[in-house]
Amino acid sequence: MVARPHRRSNGVMTAPAPRGRAAFAGLAGAGSALAAGHLVAGLAGMPTSSPLVAVGNSAIDLAPTPLKEFAVRTFGTADKIVLLTGMAVIIAALAVVAGLISRRSRLPGSVLIGAFGVLGAVAVAARPDFTTPALVAPVMALIAGLVVFALLMARGRSAVDGETSEDRRRFLTTSAAVVVGAGVAGAAGTALGRGAGADTSRRLVGARIPGVTAPPPGADFAVSGTPTFLTTNRDFYRIDTALTVPQLRVEDWRLRLHGMVEREMVLTFDDLVRRPLITRSITLACVSNPVGGPYISTAEFHGVRVRDLLLEAGVRPGAQQLFTTSADGFDTGTPLDVLLEPDRDALLAVGMNGEPLPAEHGFPVRMVVPGLYGYVSATKWLVDAEVTTFDRQHYWEKRGWAKQGPIKTQSRIDRPRRRDSLPAGPVTAAGIAWAQHTGIDRVEVRVDGGPWRTAELATDVSRDTWRMWRVTFHLGPGEHTVQCRATDRAGHTQPEQRRPVLPDGATGWHSVTFTCA
């Protein structure tokens, strides 16, 4: 752009600021606000006080059940990335609007940015782990947003008043500084939030966790395409409502066991791990797992029996559920009669596959109950346990899911895969079956609606874990469909009828179509 010879010097704003610059000022203002909030939250060691994180977490909690179910089904564990991207697009669009409505005066845009700042502060204040100092992050975010917006609108306006090359350079250098500054602040905030203590804590705990035991020989048919018997911590499925992984430190961790008990208890991490630690292989499954789906994994968990703690506290007559709450506000209710069964071995787990719990899987302490879906039993980042009646509704119950969630007997085909193209001749079908705390009796498999054949089963490790199966068919060229169905040791065969995951877990036979040539 060429500098105009006669620059207006009276400062009266005549023409509106150029669209591009106004839009950019809006974007830069919003971006700076979010970055500043994120940085302050990280510096303060309160990652959930970042307005971006708080608004995202509120969106997750407020989202209607069908939308959440759709998100999990469609995006799986990537659902959080999708949510963040969606939020970024919406925020960017509104920021551009804030800029465009401020081309003559920056007031309207400032009001819009201010409204957003208030929304961020409300979201932060609504978080379950809220304390007043957490408001510093949204307040700093608001200030940063307004200052950057005002600065860039003023600089951008020089184009209207007759711009010298000096003006233009100042607009560009200010813009570049804002973009780089916001980027660095955002990245630093993320890094600080991630390192807020849990990593160091995990190393300290490591020494107290016994090593992992190798599963017995023949516990899986991985050579035929099933998963390995134990899932590595890295591959273990992850489902939760936490947009950022809660960062808890063992030093600060406390568990309050209270409610309808004779003796209320407050346990530190040391109090917990001083008790006898037991080790159990458990297959955890998600109620949102569709037929044939991936949300099932097995680990060796190390922890303290929930039953022992309940007996120590003394459960009062009339109590029905143990209502457990996580540091990030998720909660659930687990029937006491299940937790008190002498051989159920429900755990407050501190270790997973010979390591401290990974942060994503609930560090430092989570609950695991063989035979119950995760949403009614497997509270991660556990901080509170209340013995109460069934009247109190839990997180997913309030959203239309069943109050109680025993895992349904199910099976899945892992080989062949859908649309595989295999040589005609012997074809080995292989997969998994599960009926936690009952055990698998048999798995039957058929091809193209032919007779059911009983599959070979892998070594029986425990009734709380999945059981691998396989069977070989001789197939001619053409398209084929394989189906499987499991029968548990209570004599129940999984029904053919397909039902959706809502409200208490999917049913139906898994079927896979492939071709032989």
Ligand X SMILES: Nc1nc2c(c(=O)[nH]1)N[C@H]1C(S)=C(S)[C@@H](COP(=O)(O)O)O[C@H]1N2
Nearest residue to 240 (alpha-carbon basis) of 366, 87, 371, 120: 366
The binding track of 286-325 with respect to ligand X, each residue x by CB under 6 A or -, is: x---------------------------------------
- Cα separation, 87 vs 55, in Å, equals 9
DSSP 8-state symbol, 354: T
The binding track of 380-409 with respect to ligand X, each residue x by CB under 6 A or -, is: xx----------------------------
Of the listed pieces 185-193, 227-235, 371-379, 433-441, which binds ligand X according to CB under 6 A? Answer: 371-379
If binding is defined by CB under 6 A, does position 240 make contact with ligand X? yes
DSSP 8-state symbol, 171: H
238, 442, 492, 499: residue in contact with ligand X (rule CB under 6 A):
238
Shortest distance, position 281 Cβ to Mo ion, whole Å? 19
If binding is defined by CB under 6 A, does position 330 make contact with ligand X? yes
Name the CA dihedral angle for 97, 101, 104, 106, rounded to a multiple of 10 degrees.
Answer: -70
What is the length of the chain? 517
Choose from ligand X, Mo ion, none: what does 98 bind? Cβ within 5-8 Å by kind.
Answer: none
For the chain, count helices (H), then strands (E): 11, 19
If binding is defined by CB under 6 A, does position 473 make contact with ligand X? no
58, 65, 228, 241: residue in contact with ligand X (rule CB under 6 A):
241
Shortest distance, position 340 Cβ to Mo ion, whole Å? 23
Choose from Mo ion, ligand X, none: what does 236 bind? Cβ within 5-8 Å by kind.
Answer: ligand X
If binding is defined by CB under 6 A, does position 466 make contact with ligand X? no
- What distance, in Å, lies between the first and last C-alpha atoms of the chain? 67
Number of residues that bind ligand X (CB under 6 A): 19
The binding track of 270-289 with respect to ligand X, each residue x by CB under 6 A or -, is: --------------x-x---
Residue pointed to by tokens 């697009």: 89
Angle of helix 107-126 versus helix 51-62 axis, rounded to 10: 70
Residue showing the smallest CB distance to ligand X in the complex? 374
Shortest distance, position 289 Cβ to Mo ion, whole Å? 8
The two three-digit tokens of residue 146, written as one number:
């307004």
Q: What is the DSSP string of 460-496?
A: ---TTS-EEEEEEEEE-SEEEEEEEEEEETTSPBPPS
315, 349, 378, 430: residue in contact with ligand X (rule CB under 6 A):
378
Choose from ligand X, Mo ion, none: what does 399 bind? Cβ within 5-8 Å by kind.
Answer: none
- Cα separation, 26 vs 110, in Å, equals 9
Burial of 265: CB neighbours in 10 Å, binned 0-12, 13-18, 19+: middle
Q: Across-strand partners of 469?
A: 431, 457
Shortest distance, position 373 Cβ to Mo ion, whole Å? 6
Shortest distance, position 289 Cβ to ligand X, whole Å? 8
Choose from Mo ion, ligand X, none: what does 256 bind? Cβ within 5-8 Å by kind.
Answer: none
Residue closer to ligand X (CB basis): 375 or 469: 375
Buried/exposed 145-164: b ≥16 CB within 10 Å, e otherwise? bbebbbbbbebbbbbbbebe
236, 363, 434, 514: residue in contact with ligand X (rule CB under 6 A):
236
Q: Are 205 and 251 in contact (CB under 8 A)?
A: no
If binding is defined by CB under 6 A, does position 375 make contact with ligand X? yes
- Cα separation, 79 vs 71, in Å, equals 6
Shortest distance, position 329 Cβ to ligand X, whole Å? 8
Nearest residue to 257 (alpha-carbon basis) of 272, 247, 279, 242: 272
Nearest residue to 240 (alpha-carbon basis) of 191, 280, 202, 295: 295
Shortest distance, position 133 Cβ to ligand X, whole Å? 23
If binding is defined by CB under 6 A, does position 326 make contact with ligand X? yes
Q: Across-strand partners of 446?
A: 483
Residue closer to Mo ion (CB basis): 381 or 473: 381
Residue closer to Mo ion (CB basis): 239 or 435: 239
Shortest distance, position 240 Cβ to ligand X, whole Å? 3
Of the listed pieces 179-187, 237-245, 421-429, 503-511, which binds ligand X according to CB under 6 A? Answer: 237-245
Choose from ligand X, Mo ion, none: what does 323 bind? Cβ within 5-8 Å by kind.
Answer: none
Residues of this chain that interact with ligand X (CB under 6 A) are: 236-242, 284, 286, 326, 328, 330, 361, 374-375, 378-381
